[in-house]
C-alpha cells in the first residue's frame, strides 16, 4: 500500500496503537520515547511489533518525501464495539454485566488504562489526516484520565445495574505461562494539542452511558 501511494503520491495515515510502547514504566508516554518489549518467545509482544513495523515502513517512505502521519490510539471505545468482546475490555465487561455472567478481571485488576471515546478518536484521526504539520510524525490520541481495570468493571456493573460477580483470574489461566502486561498506559497528548488543537471531550462515564444506550438499541 505504501509503495502504491508513493508511486501515485497519495498521503497516508497509519492507524497505530499505544501497544507500541510495550511495557515501559515511563508515564505519560511520549511519541518519541523508547519502546520496551519482552522476549520474542512471549506472544504478547507480537501485535506491538507488527504495528511498530508499520510505523517503521511509513517513516521510511516519509524520509523520501511521502506525506505520512501516524496516530496511536489508546483504548478507543463506544458504539459499534464487537458485542463478543473481541479486542475491547469495555465490550467484554458490558456484555457480561448485561447477561448476568461473571465479569472476569485478569491479574489483580490494579493495572490501569486510559479510555478514549470513539468520537474523540475519529475527530483526532481526521485532523491528523488533513494536517500538514502532522506529516512525518506520530501522535498520541488518548484521554489522559487513568482508570484501573477493576474500577472499570465496577463502573460498568453499576451503570448496567447488574449483580454480576467480579472475578479475578490469573493471567496464566487465560493467556498461558509467561504472559507479560503493561501496568500503566497513559498518553502524553501535548503534541496532539499543539499540532492538531485536539483534546478529549467525552469522559469515561458519559462514553459508557452512550455505549450502553447503543447496545440496548441494537442487541
Flag whether pLDDT at 17 surpasses 90.
yes
Flag whether pLDDT at 177 surpasses 90.
no
84-102 mean pLDDT: 90
User: pLDDT confidence of 76, banded at 50, 70, 90?
Assistant: very high
- In tens, the pLDDT along 140-153 reads 999 999 999 999 99
Flag whether pLDDT at 115 surpasses 70.
yes
User: pLDDT confidence of 84, banded at 50, 70, 90?
Assistant: confident
2-218 under CATH 2.60.40.3500, yes or no: no
Flag whether pLDDT at 173 surpasses 70.
yes
Instruction: Classify residue 89 by burial, with Cβ atoms within 10 Å: 0-12, 13-18, 19+.
Output: buried
Average pLDDT of the residues of the chain? 95
102-128 mean pLDDT: 97
Catalytic positions are 47
- What's residue 163's pLDDT? 96
- What's residue 70's pLDDT? 98
> Which of 173, 201, 169, 188 minimizes the C-alpha distance to 78?
201
Q: Which helix (H) or strand (E) holds 12?
A: strand 12-17
Name the CA dihedral angle for 116, 79, 84, 185, rounded to a multiple of 10 degrees: 0
User: pLDDT confidence of 87, banded at 50, 70, 90?
Assistant: confident
Flag whether pLDDT at 86 surpasses 80.
no
| Residue 103 CA neighbour count, 13 Å, CB half | 29
57-64 mean pLDDT: 97
80-102 mean pLDDT: 89
Q: How far apart are CA 162 and CA 48, in angstroms?
A: 34
- Cell digits of residue 15: 492507524
Domain map (residue ranges) of the chain: 2-218
- What's residue 85's pLDDT? 67
Amino acid at each position: 500500500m505504501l509503495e502504491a501511494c508513493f508511486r501515485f503520491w497519495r498521503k497516508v495515515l497509519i492507524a497505530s496503537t499505544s501497544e507500541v510502547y510495550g511495557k515501559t514504566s515511563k508515564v505519560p508516554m511520549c511519541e518519541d520515547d523508547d519502546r520496551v518489549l519482552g522476549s520474542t518467545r512471549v506472544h504478547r509482544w507480537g501485535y506491538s511489533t507488527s504495528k511498530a513495523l508499520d510505523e517503521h515502513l511509513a517513516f521510511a517512505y516519509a524520509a523520501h518525501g511521502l506525506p505520512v502521519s501516524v496516530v496511536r490510539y489508546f483504548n478507543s471505545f463506544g458504539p459499534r464495539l464487537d458485542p463478543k468482546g473481541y479486542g475491547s475490555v469495555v465490550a467484554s465487561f458490558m456484555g457480561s454485566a448485561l447477561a448476568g455472567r461473571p465479569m472476569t478481571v485478569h491479574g489483580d485488576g490494579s493495572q490501569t488504562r486510559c479510555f478514549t471515546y470513539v468520537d474523540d478518536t475519529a475527530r483526532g484521526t481526521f485532523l491528523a489526516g488533513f494536517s500538514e504539520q502532522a506529516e512525518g510524525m506520530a501522535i498520541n490520541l488518548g484521554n489522559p484520565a487513568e482508570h484501573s481495570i477493576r474500577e472499570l468493571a465496577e463502573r460498568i456493573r453499576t451503570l448496567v445495574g447488574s449483580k454480576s460477580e467480579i472475578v479475578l483470574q490469573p493471567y496464566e489461566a487465560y493467556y498461558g505461562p509467561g504472559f507479560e502486561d503493561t501496568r500503566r498506559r497513559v498518553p502524553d497528548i501535548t503534541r496532539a494539542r499543539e499540532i492538531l488543537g485536539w483534546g478529549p471531550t467525552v469522559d469515561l462515564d458519559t462514553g459508557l452511558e452512550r455505549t450502553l444506550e447503543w447496545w440496548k438499541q441494537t442487541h
